[in-house]
Amino acid sequence: MNYLVGLAILPVVFLLKFIYDKDNNKEPSRLLRKTFIFGMIIIVPCIIIELLLQKIFPIDNNSDLLFLFVCVFISVALVEEFFKWIIVKIIAYKNDEFDEMYDGIVYSIYSSLGFACLENICFVLMYGAKTGVYRAFTAVPSHACDAILMGYFFGRSKQHKCDGDNRTAKKYLFLSLFVPTLIHAIYDYLLMSKILLFFIIWIVFVIVIFIICFKLVNKCAKNNIKLLNIQNSIVQTNNNYCTNCGSTISNDDNFCKKCGNQIKRL
């Protein structure tokens, strides 16, 4: 049993470390632990709500492909992604430690992989090592990809919120839930349809999403932006560098791309 639990946890640890190591300004361990633990806890209400919703939106023995997608979207993907999302929203989004664009990805990963960790342990204990190996390369990375997309939009939302643009912030906040829910639903739907063509499409879909998310993580980590209250962080300069952080700026820049300060020309 111990080796099965280890097999279930291993891909989670690997992905957490991959995301964590790319964060140059590490998040407080207490917040990360809290986010991860609550990510595990939410699996209980998720199961309850999914079972209740599947009485209305059944996913088993559903021959209507369009209705099957609706059922998967509502009774599986939306439920799971909403609970992961609400953990990040409550614990991290309004916290002052969420002060960089990349932080959205970090906190979303910890919430989602907390969920995936407990889910994976249950599956591996029930179905054995082969299931653990299969899920290590499919389901667990898929949860991570959903989290990366969620976190990216969380970061964009927080950025616009700090800029005082609440309307755009709300738009990205909506996308931080909708986009991972849609990707999750497509992933499950293509598998649950039990159609060979859809399975082939699923393989291509998984590869494409994995590549997109890998590139997105690297891009966000490399071009990480400090989130500041722009209204209180105006840099006045006639030079070609930001007087706050020293980064080079162009004449067309209104904001410093590194520290996020607004540039006001003298």
The residue among 96, 119, 91 whose CA lies nearest residue 107 is 91
Residues 160 and 199 in one domain: yes
The torsion angles phi and psi of 211, rounded to 5 degrees, stand at: -65, -45
- The pLDDT assigned to 237 comes to 46
Which token pair is 185? 């639903």
The residue among 106, 43, 80 whose CA lies nearest residue 180 is 80
Residues 85 and 198 in one domain: yes
Over residues 37-56, the mean pLDDT reads 96
Which of 1-10, 55-64, 237-246 comes out lowest in average pLDDT?
A: 237-246
Total count of domains within the chain: 2
Residues 92 and 214 in one domain: yes
The residue among 88, 79, 259, 49 whose CA lies nearest residue 173 is 88
Last residue of a domain, one of 208, 224, 240: 224
Q: Give 37-72 as a DSSP string.
A: HHHHHTHHHHHHHHHHHTTTS--SS---HHHHHHHH
Residues 77 and 184 in one domain: yes
Q: Looking at the predicted structure, is the pLDDT value of residue 35 above 60?
A: yes
Residues 243 and 140 in one domain: no
Residues 158 and 261 in one domain: no
For residue range 166-179, list pLDDT tens digits in order. Answer: 999 999 999 999 99
- The pLDDT assigned to 163 comes to 84
Q: Quick one: CA torsion of 137, 143, 144, 148, rounded to 10 degrees?
A: 140
In this structure, the number of other CB atoms found within 10 A of the CB of residue 212 comes to 14
- The pLDDT assigned to 64 comes to 87
Banded pLDDT at 61 (limits 50, 70, 90): low
Last residue of a domain, one of 191, 206, 224: 224
Residues 214 and 160 in one domain: yes
Domain coverage including residue 137: 2-224
Residues 50 and 74 in one domain: yes
Residues 237 and 123 in one domain: no
Banded pLDDT at 232 (limits 50, 70, 90): very low
Residues 235 and 216 in one domain: no
Residues 104 and 199 in one domain: yes
Residue 229: left (phi > 0), alpha (psi -120 to 50), or beta? Answer: beta
- The pLDDT assigned to 246 comes to 58
For residue range 196-224, list pLDDT tens digits in order. Answer: 999 999 999 999 999 999 999 999 999 88
* Residue 235, helix vs strand vs coil: strand
- The pLDDT assigned to 21 comes to 96
- The pLDDT assigned to 48 comes to 97
Q: Please say whether the dihedral angle defined by the alpha carbons of residues 235, 238, 243 and 247, taken in this order, is positive or negative.
A: positive
How far is the first Cα of the chain from the last one, in angstroms, to the nearest whole number?
A: 68
Residues 139 and 258 in one domain: no
Q: Give the span between the Cα atoms of 171 and 16, in whole angstroms.
A: 28
Q: Please say whether the dihedral angle defined by the alpha carbons of residues 108, 111, 117 and 119, taken in this order, is positive or negative.
A: negative
